[in-house]
Chain A
């Protein structure tokens, strides 16, 4: 009996060609270029899939954080001096602190923009774009928003956690997230104390991060919130303390709980263990990854097969993803071009297609925000909806506006050499021919030249918005 994820085997009638290679590289990256597609065609699906999972070592943190640390240290040394006096310290008694606090806040605000630019640059230039695509996926899954966390370094640490575990083990990633300072602050588990539970993290962990609604009760939320007490930040005194995890037995509720039908004196690690043992969890993760990487309406048999493999591999993600990217189902006509490019994917891809080096990433970050995806500022804990929800009259024009700014060279020089003719531009941007009537209209309007107008029109057309 054929399986839902049986491998794609090239044949004379159904060869491994540029369309399929471009599809794989689009879904696992950001705007593939013709030479990359050519290499993938030559290498074949097996080797290409192996190659895209070769992730580089950890990147060096961006320089933007030196500024933040400087302001934090100045504030902290001032506070240390004041503490030595053993007098009460607050903004009424010491109004001069206000300026120091504000400076720390300002520098974090500048740093998060710098960090977003750094990440966009990495998406555009990394030798392993799939790793960054997965970081983007996890950012939309295990959401934390700078607007609530107020700490660019904590957001970077979370970003690195996603990068290190991008296609690693989901259980290990989840454990890291439960101890991540940005998450502890974003979902308030740093305020979850024995006798005074705060349910925010406990609820979203089940509803959005692992099982999905319908697989637990309100009582499970309340009981697990108790189990999560004491999973908190080391301290609030310094920036580094606020960015470090600590388990504090003094504020942990060690009493008995009943969670998903199991009784015990559970703590957070037990809650994760019990959640990971539920059938709903691999299914939830498999489905979310299928929606992101395969199709907005994935075939249930594909989701089932993915979930089975995830469970069999004890939550190792790479084997499941490799099976998907090698499967016949991944190259079905109704799967190819079934996705709407997200704003970040659209923007980074456009930069790559135009052959731009070091463009104004901050302006591009803001433009993607207007399109509905502001990195480090997800709209709420459910992340970005994705799919056709990206598209409405307003966000369409945000896309055509960014395309205009890019092709006009306003955000950095465009490599004109990449576009000798309109046909070359079509191949580079779409990796497939346009329907004859569209091509005719475009050629008529542009005289067959790869003019700025032609590039802008191409990037504004529905065909460029799909992946």
Chain B
């Protein structure tokens, strides 16, 4: 929010935006020359708008997804004993291996698994698990279980430390609210709820002069009150992001039988696929699906949630393939915790701990990674984690995005072997 780069970039781009109005003050031209944005250069180099760098899509399953009923340990008696009502019957499980299989609502994900585009990481969690939604979500988003580090997101720190000159939409969240995970010190992320409406629209009769006036009114001025200064920078950043998005808007195809379901989550993934295909400079997308807090009557609700998720991921993968960009995209799911092994008396499950994560895309090493946590050796009725979530993050950072993970994660976490090696080697920038 106080980044000189952002301001510099605004002035530079503001110059081109303002050119039509021919009102750009002279001092802007010098600042424009100072612009040095490697990501922009790469974008320019990738002639037809095809990005040549890997893109990450993070899918947040809010509320605490029931990992045990997502990736089902269908050979374990303890599972069936703990869940007389909610256990997925053995014959209905979509088998992945001799030991685990997917919930029957995940048929689209099963097809993707069979095509070799899904990696399941088992038993992901962290030490001393917290069963509060908010604290645990904060832990996953800050990657800081001790809570001693800065209150910034792990992806926000990615932009701060690895891309000092990157643009105002290096990260994009497809919702009105910006998740903590994406927040860093500099304004390099945007929250876009509706891509088609994104921008400053003058009133009727206001036209371009009104837009120009707005840009001048939000030029930061030294010595302003801190909050007004923050808002000025945010508005400026928003105008920059809108300018970028509007350039791509023409290429954002209409949803003409694209095969996505109509629900908002699917439609957001459709927009993500379109933006990636159109060559958007955005490197990390963040999409949420909520409602997983199934304390009561879990059966129907969780089935529908998983079906939505699976169908959306299936459509997304199919779309990426059609667009020829399946190898450029890695999608990762996470939830703040899994749920307790034993069902409760309300036909639901209470807050738990470790759960599987999904890594999906053309360049994952498909299959089951890690071993399923014990269903008998429990911690207060909950699973003991096998893999620290920060190891999954370090995998994504190092082997997919090609950056050093320890400055971002505040320590060294051994990456997992879930990304195909030639990608891991070439992802470095």
Contact = CB atoms under 8 A, between A and B. Distances in A.
Contact of A457 (B62, B210, B345, B351): B210
Contact of A453 (B175, B205, B344): B205
Contact of A397 (B200, B344, B345): B200
B296 A191 contact: yes
B14 to A, nearest CB: 14
A417 interface: no
Q: Which of A188, A462, A463 has the most CB of B within 10 A?
A: A462
Contacts, number: 173
A379 B179 CA distance: 12
Interface residues of B, number: 60
Contacts of A36: none
Contact of A452 (B205, B218, B345, B351): B205
A457 B206 CA distance: 10
Contacts of B237: 393
A337 B227 contact: yes
Interface in A175-226: 188, 191-193, 195-200, 203, 207-208, 213, 218
Contact of A213 (B63, B135, B230, B234): B135
B178 A198 contact: no
B203 interface: yes
Contacts of A196: 344-346
A4 interface: no
Given A394-B176, A465-B231, A457 B132 contact: no
A208 B203 CA distance: 42
A445 B210 contact: yes
A463 B213 contact: no
Contacts of B234: 391-393, 396
Interface in B219-238: 221, 224-225, 227-228, 230-232, 234-235, 237-238
Chain A binding site: helix, strand, loop or mixed by DSSP? helix
A442 B216 CA distance: 9
Given A195-B345, A400-B201, A393 B133 contact: no
Q: How large is the interface on A (under 10, 10 to 19, 20 to 34, 35 or more residues)?
A: 35 or more
A291 interface: no
Interface string B84-114: 0000000000000000000000000000000
A370 B193 contact: yes
A407 interface: yes
Interface of B: 62-63, 131-135, 168, 175-178, 189-194, 197-206, 209-210, 212-214, 216-218, 221, 224-225, 227-228, 230-232, 234-235, 237-238, 241-242, 290, 295-296, 344-346, 348, 350-351, 380
Interface of A: 188, 191-193, 195-200, 203, 207-208, 213, 218, 337-340, 370-372, 379-382, 385, 388-389, 391-398, 400-401, 404, 407-408, 435, 437-438, 441-442, 444-446, 452-453, 456-457, 460-463, 465-466
Given A398-B176, A462-B231, 14 more contacts: A198-B295, A370-B176, A380-B63, A382-B133, A388-B230, A391-B231, A392-B189, A394-B191, A435-B224, A437-B221, A453-B209, A456-B210, A460-B217, A462-B232
